[in-house]
């Protein structure tokens, strides 16, 4: 968040890239250039590096969350997502902005124990030794424990399987504070494994965190005024109804829910990548959470409120960090966190949930009214104009002509470019 500025930046999309950078530098009070990852830094991040892979880094405007102003950094290759977010945030702002909440940043580490000679004894012993073991884990130290996090509890789950007989799954509940926490949790469960073998006289197989981080849920909600949804063809109230119908479609039908949630993840992944977070972990958790009732369903809910306006809400597991991992190494991830101005992993999770809700609203509003192709094709035309080799100053004319003709094809972009070249 930024306490001194508004994220409602007039005609931000019409500014040049350089001017947008100036706005963002001013927002974060930083004169530094936008330095991206170097090959040397990349070489220290993963194995066998041969180069870098670039993606567009953008910001979405207009976000008002819990009464605070946010610019949202997004890294994505798909056109329309960034613009749709800014548009959605503008409408939610008119309805009072977004409100959010989240759970403590608790992760689950799993330890699989097999071949216990006496399951009841094993269960009893784990309970007796629990406090000592938790303390031992926390004595391993580390910055998370220093900040008040660390091992908090055990949960024990028991499975009776045809293939392997009785299995105990011990869940270590670990508060990760401002880290995503994968390393800390995995270190802790690897430490506990031999201790639990001794106590239970069983055998440990896997010890690894769970990506179904359902103790680490973030929630966001907000209202869009019916009046602001009016189109040339539909009243605001009709659009509210169409959006609710779209939302219920995704609540009841997994085929639709998958696409609906994909749209949500368009926004969420964009912020996760921008901030150097593990988007595969969040994706896995989000989809597992979406199927928790036994039927894969929507991550959002859309309803009409007592004033006839549209109320949307989202909840999903969001295991994210603002320290450690790529967030520390990648200069653009540092920049993204600075733009967001978040001071805790929970705040970041809540902002990300908000982005998911806003993205979903924008997608289903478009689908329930004009369809998405109209907006999409303009950006597609820009990509084609660029692919045809058009210089920057020629692109607007090529785009407008292709859109007006409804002929958004590379061949047409090339022809138009030839004409343009002859005239210039
Ligand atoms: C496209 O990337 C995402 C949408 O398909 C989402 C949706 O259908 O809700 C537009």
Alpha-carbon gap, residue 196 to 323, rounded angstroms:
30
Please compute the mean of the pLDDT values over residues 316-321 and round it to a whole number. Answer: 98
Q: What average pLDDT does range 279-293 have in this prediction?
A: 98
pLDDT of 371: 80
Q: How many CB atoms lie within 10 A of CB 249?
A: 17
Atom of ligand 1 nearest to the CA of 364: 9
Write down the pLDDT at residue 3: 72
| Ligand 1 touching residue 266 (CB < 6 A) | yes
235: Cβ below 6 Å to ligand 1? no
Give the pLDDT confidence of 360-373 residue by residue, as tens digits.
999 999 999 988 77
Letter string b/e over residues 206-223, b meaning 16 or more CB atoms within 10 A of that residue's CB: ebebbbbbebbbbbbbbb
pLDDT of residue 197: 98
Q: Which residue has the tokens 């929630």?
A: 219
Which residues are CB-neighbours of 88 under 8 A, at least 6 positions away?
A: 358, 359, 361, 362, 365
Q: What is the mean pLDDT of residues 401-411?
A: 92
> Residue 85 pLDDT > 90, yes or no?
yes
- What is residue 316's predicted lDDT score, i.e. its pLDDT? 98
pTM for this entry = 0.91
Residue 175 forms beta bridges with which residues? 106, 150
Helix ranges (DSSP H) in 112-235: 119-139, 143-146, 182-200
pLDDT band at 142 (very low <50, low <70, confident <90, very high): confident
From residue 340, alpha-carbon distances to 8, 88, 288, 322 in Å are: 14, 18, 28, 11
- Nearest alpha carbon to residue 42 among 33, 57, 53, 31: 53
**Amino acid 372: pLDDT:** 75
Query: What does the mean pLDDT of the chain come to?
Result: 95
Is pLDDT of 200 > 90? yes
189 pLDDT more than 80: yes
List the residue whose alpha carbon is closest to atom 1 of ligand 1: 263
* CB neighbours of residue 90 within 10 Å: 18
The overall longest dimension of the chain from CA atoms, in Å, is: 88
Q: Which of 202, 175, 203, 170 is nearest to 189 (CA)?
A: 170
What are the pLDDT digits (tens) for 7-38?
A: 999 899 999 999 999 999 999 988 878 888 99
Would you tell me the crossing angle of helices 345-368 and 331-340 to the nearest 10 degrees? Answer: 80
Cα–Cα distances in angstroms (integers) from residue 304 to residues 99, 240, 245, in the given order:
17, 7, 11
pLDDT in tens, 336-355: 999 999 999 999 999 999 99
Paired residues of 100 in beta bridges: 220
Q: Output the pLDDT for position 138.
A: 97
Stretch 145-150: mean pLDDT: 94
Q: Give residue for tokens 């031999």.
A: 194
Establish whether residue 311 lines the binding site of ligand 1, counting it when its CB lies within 6 angstroms of any ligand atom: no
Q: What percentage of the chain reaches a pLDDT higher than 70? A: 100
- Considering only 19-33, 96-110, 168-182, 310-324, which range has the smallest mean pLDDT? 19-33
Give distance in angstroms: CA of 85 to centre of ligand 1: 13
Q: How many CA atoms lie within 13 A of 278 on its CB side?
A: 20
Q: Of the residues 77, 266, 270, which should be mutated to test ligand 1's pocket, given the most ligand atoms within 8 Å of the CB?
A: 266
The protein residue whose alpha carbon is closest to atom 2 in ligand 1 is 263
State yes or no: pLDDT of 4 exceeds 80. Answer: no
Please tell me the predicted confidence (pLDDT) of residue 326. Answer: 83
Mean pLDDT, residues 204-225 = 98
pLDDT of residue 166: 95
260 CB under 6 A from ligand 1? yes
pLDDT given for residue 110 in this prediction: 98
């Amino acid at each position: 968040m930024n306490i001194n500025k508004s994220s409602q930046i007039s005609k931000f999309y019409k500014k040049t890239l350089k001017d947008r950078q100036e706005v963002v530098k001013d927002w974060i009070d930083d004169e530094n250039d936008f330095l991206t990852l170097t090959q040397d830094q990349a070489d220290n991040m993963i194995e066998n590096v041969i180069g870098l892979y670039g993606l567009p880094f953008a910001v979405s405007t207009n976000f008002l969350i819990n009464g605070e102003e946010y610019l949202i950094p997004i890294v994505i290759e798909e056109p329309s997502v960034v613009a749709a977010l800014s548009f959605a945030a503008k409408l939610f702002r008119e309805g009072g902005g977004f409100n959010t909440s989240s759970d403590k940043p608790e992760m689950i580490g799993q330890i699989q124990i097999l071949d216990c000679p006496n399951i009841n004894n094993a269960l009893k012993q784990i309970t007796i030794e629990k406090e000592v073991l938790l303390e031992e884990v926390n004595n391993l130290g580390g910055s998370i424990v220093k900040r008040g996090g660390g091992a908090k509890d055990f949960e024990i789950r028991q499975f009776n399987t045809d293939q392997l007989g009785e299995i105990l799954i011990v869940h270590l509940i670990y508060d990760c504070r401002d880290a995503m926490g994968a390393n800390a949790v995995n270190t802790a469960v690897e430490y506990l494994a031999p201790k639990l073998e001794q106590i239970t006289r069983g055998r440990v197989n896997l010890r690894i965190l769970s990506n179904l981080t359902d103790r680490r849920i973030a929630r966001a909600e907000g209202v869009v005024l019916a009046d602001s949804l009016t189109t040339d063809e539909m009243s605001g109230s009709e659009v509210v109804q169409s959006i609710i119908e779209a939302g219920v479609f995704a609540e009841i039908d997994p085929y639709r829910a998958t696409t609906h949630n994909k749209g949500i993840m368009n926004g969420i992944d964009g912020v996760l990548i921008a901030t150097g977070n593990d988007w595969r972990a969040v994706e896995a958790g989000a989809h597992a959470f979406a199927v928790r009732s036994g039927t894969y369903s929507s991550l959002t809910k859309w309803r009409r409120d007592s004033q006839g306006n549209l109320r949307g809400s989202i909840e999903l597991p969001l295991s994210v960090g603002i320290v450690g991992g790529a967030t520390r190494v990648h200069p653009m991830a540092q920049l993204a966190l600075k733009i967001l101005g978040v001071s805790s992993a929970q705040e970041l999770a809540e902002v990300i949930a908000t982005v998911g809700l806003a993205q979903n609203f924008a997608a289903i509003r478009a689908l329930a009214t004009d369809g998405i192709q109209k907006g999409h094709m303009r950006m597609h035309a820009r990509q084609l104009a660029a692919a045809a080799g058009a210089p920057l100053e020629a692109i607007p004319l090529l785009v407008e002509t292709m859109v007006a003709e409804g002929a958004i094809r590379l061949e047409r972009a090339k022809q138009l470019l030839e004409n343009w070249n002859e005239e210039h």
